[in-house]
Amino acid sequence: MHQHRRSETVFVIRQAVNEDADRLAALRVEFYQTQIAAGWRDQPVNLQESMQAGTPATIRSPRNCIFLAEIAGAPIGYVFGTTKIVPGVREPIISSIEEMYVGSDYRGVGLARRLLQNALADFRARNADRIQLRVLAENSDARMYWSQLGFRENVIICEFEQDHRGSPAPT
């Protein structure tokens, strides 16, 4: 557990535990709502229900790391990362930042960077060869933020919206 000060406010960053599932699920809903507003399209039919059902297993998975930021026991942000081994590639241990969120009242004070430092330390302990993350193409603020931290674009995913009304595919 790490403590950080913002004026007189003390932030605590700690690893999430099973008892945090409901509070973390609520933060994850806030995160996904920001992503939906920014144009994310792969959204669950019922976001609230999906996060409530999936968060406990996300916390328990030995592949995952989840660090929760709190003030006086109230959650204000989190980072969720995972590590996988990809057979047959030169650098097989790949970690990724899956989600990172800081409540709007606490942005701009370095909390995201502190959450990220915790995740990176976890990835180092897992001997990760590479660290990846996904950012919406139109989210220029996030792309700039991650770039300033040393992340570089590697793969660009292009999408084509299929018209199911019988229009021909692009030529």
Q: Where are the domains of the chain?
A: 2-148
CATH topology of domain 2-148: Aminopeptidase (3.40.630)
Rounded to a whole number of angstroms, the CA Rg of the chain reads 18
> What is the crossing angle of helices 21-37 and 47-60, to 10°?
130
More confident of the two residues 138 and 14: 14
Summarize pLDDT for 4-60 with one digit per residue, the tens: 554 556 899 999 999 999 999 999 999 999 999 888 888 889 999 999 999 999 999
Q: For residue 15, which phi and psi values (nearest 5 degrees)?
A: -70, 135
The pLDDT, as a whole number, for residue 83 is 97
The pLDDT, as a whole number, for residue 157 is 86
Residues with Cβ within 8 Å of 55's Cβ and at least 6 positions away in sequence, in order, are 21, 22, 24, 25, 28
Q: What is the mean pLDDT of residues 89-113?
A: 94
- Of the candidate ranges 36-50, 64-78, 154-168, the one whose mean pLDDT is the lowest: 154-168
The pTM (predicted TM-score) of the whole model is: 0.86
**CA 69 to CA 78: how far, in whole Å?**
6
Q: Which pLDDT band, with edges at 50, 70 and 90, does 70 fall under?
A: very high
43, two tokens: 């959204």
